[in-house]
Structure 1
Amino acid sequence: MSEVSSKPGKSALLSLFKEIFNWYPSHYPSEERKLLFKLDVSILIFACLCYQTNISNAYVSGLKEDFSLNGNQLNYFNVCYYTAYVVFQVPGLLLLSRPKLARWLLPGLEVLWGVCTFAQSRVTTVNQLYALRFLVGMLEAPVFAGTHFILGSWYSGPELFKRAGTWFICNPLGTMVSGYLQAAAYTNLSGVGGMPGWRWLFIVDGIFTIPVALLGFLIFPGIPGSPQPFYLTESDIALAKERTRRAEIRRPGKLGLDVFRRSLKRWHIWVFITCYACMIICSYPSAYMSLWLKAEGYSVTQINQLPTVVSAITIVASWLGTTVAAIYPTWVIYTIASAFCLFSTLCMVIWNIPRTLKFVAWYLFGFSGCLSPILYSTVNTIVKDDSEERALIMGAMMTFGYSFNIWVPLLLFPTAGPDGAPRWKKGWPVAFVFYFLLWAGFVSAVLLHKREKRGEIGTAPSETSVENTETIVIENSLNSKTGCFEVLNG
Structure 2
Amino acid sequence: MSSVLTKLAIWIWGPDSKDRALLAKLDVTLLPYFSLIWFLFGVTRSSYSSAYISGMKEALGFQGKEYNYMSTAYLVVYAVCQMPGTSLLTIVRPKYVFVTANLTWAVLTLITYKMTKAWQVILLNAIEGGFSAIAYVGAHFILGSWYKRSELGIRAAVFCVFGHIGTMAGGWIQAGLLASLADKGGLPAWKWIFIIVSVMTIPVALFGWIFIPDLPSHRAAWFLNSELKEHAIMRLGAPRKQSWDLTVFRRVLLSWQFWLLPFIFMLYSLCVQMLQNNVMAYWMASRGYTTIQQNNYPTGIYATAIIGTIFYAVISDKLQSRWEVSIAIGLTFIIGSAILVSSPSTDAGYFVAFYLLGTTFAPQAVWYSWMADVTSSDVQLRAITTGFMNSFDFAFVTWWPLVFYAATDAPDFHRGYIASLVTGALTLPFIGLIAYLERRDRARGVIGRVAFESPVNDHDRDGRDDDSGKLVDTPVNVQSAEIGV
Could you say whether these structures have the same fold, taking a TM-score greater than 0.5 normalized by the shorter chain as the test?
Answer: yes
Aligned to 1:271: 260
Which whole-Å deviations, capped at 9, do the CAs of 1:441-479 have from their partners, x for residues lacking one? 22321111112233449xx9x9466x94618xxxxxxxx
Match of 1:292 among 282, 293, 311: 282
Q: Is 1:323 aligned to residue 310 of structure 2?
A: no
Counterpart Cα distance in 2 of 1:291 and 1:198: 24
Secondary structure, in 3 states, of the residue corresponding to 2:218? coil
Match of 1:244, SS state, is: coil
Quick one: structure 1 residues 300 and 126, their matched pair in 2 at CA, closer, same or farther if it must change by over 3 Å? Answer: farther
User: How much does 1:193 deviate?
Assistant: 4.6
Alpha carbons of structure 1 residues 155 and 347: separation in structure 2 relative to 1, 3 Å: same
Opposite residue 46 of structure 1, the aligned amino acid is Y
Instruction: Name 1:395's counterpart in structure 2.
Output: 387
Deviation at residue 217 of structure 1 after TM alignment: 0.6
Deviations 1:387-438 (A, max 9, x none): 1111111112122111223333333333x43x2x564444332222212223
Residue 224 of structure 1: how far off its partner (Å): 1.6
Q: Distance in 2 between matches of 1:62 and 1:137?
A: 18
Pick aligned residue for 1:49 from 24, 28, 36: 36
**Alignment partner of 1:80 is 2:73:** yes
1:252-310: CA deviation from partner (whole Å, max 9, x where unpaired): 73323421111112211111121122123223341234753784576666555433322
Do the aligned partners of residues 133 and 346 (structure 1) sit closer, same or farther apart at CA in structure 2, a change above 3 Å counting?
Answer: farther
Whether the 8 Å contact between 2:283 and 2:411 is mirrored in structure 1 is no
- d(CA) in 1 for partners of 2:244 and 2:199? 37
Task: Answer yes or no: is 1:339 the counterpart of 2:328.
Answer: no
Please say which of residues 445-454 and 379-388 is displaced more in the overlay. 445-454
2:142 and 2:215 in contact (8 A); partners too: yes
Percent identity at matched positions?
27
Question: Which of 474, 479, 485 is residue 470 of structure 1 equivalent to?
Answer: 474
Q: CA deviation at 1:124?
A: 4.1
Would you say 1:223 and 2:215 are equivalent positions?
Answer: yes
**CA distances 1:18-53 after superposition (whole Å, capped 9, x unpaired):** 999933112x02x33111111122211100110232
Distance 1:58 1:35, change over 3 A: closer
Q: TM-score, normalised by structure 1?
A: 0.80
Is the alpha carbon distance of 1:377 and 1:111 closer, same or farther for their aligned partners in structure 2, counting shifts above 3 Å? same
Q: Is the 8 A contact 1:183 1:300 kept in 2?
A: no
Equivalent AA in structure 2 for residue 126 of structure 1: A
Normalised to the residue count of structure 2, the TM-score between the two structures is 0.81
Do the aligned residues in 2 keep the contact of 1:278 with 1:434 (CA within 8 Å)? yes
Map 1:119-138 onto structure 2 (within 5 A): 119-138=111-130
| Aligned residue-pair number | 443
What 5-or-longer segments of structure 2 have no aligned partner? 1-6, 447-464, 476-485
Structure 1 residues 74 and 149, CA, compared in 2 at 3 Å: closer, same or farther?
Answer: same
- Tell whether the 8 Å contact from 1:151 to 1:160 is kept in structure 2 after alignment: yes
Q: Identify if the C-alpha distance between structure 1 residues 19 and 236 changes in structure 2 by more than 3 Å, giving closer, same or farther.
A: closer
Which AA in structure 2 matches 1:310?
Answer: I
Aligned to 2:399: 407
- Mapping of residues 23-422 of structure 1, within 5 Å: 23-26=12-15, 28-29=16-17, 31-51=18-38, 52=40, 53-54=42-43, 57-58=46-47, 61=50, 63-64=52-53, 66=55, 67=57, 75-98=68-91, 100-193=92-185, 197-226=189-218, 228-245=220-237, 248-250=238-240, 253-289=242-278, 291-292=281-282, 295=285, 302=293, 304-328=295-319, 329-351=321-343, 353-414=345-406, 416-417=407-408, 419=409
SS at match of 2:235: helix
Query: Aligned pair in 2 of structure 1 residues 73, 303: CA closer, same or farther (>3 Å)?
Result: farther
Corresponding letter in the other structure for 2:34: A
Aligned-CA RMSD value:
3.3
User: Which has the higher mean CA deviation after the structures are superposed, 339-348 or 201-210?
Assistant: 339-348
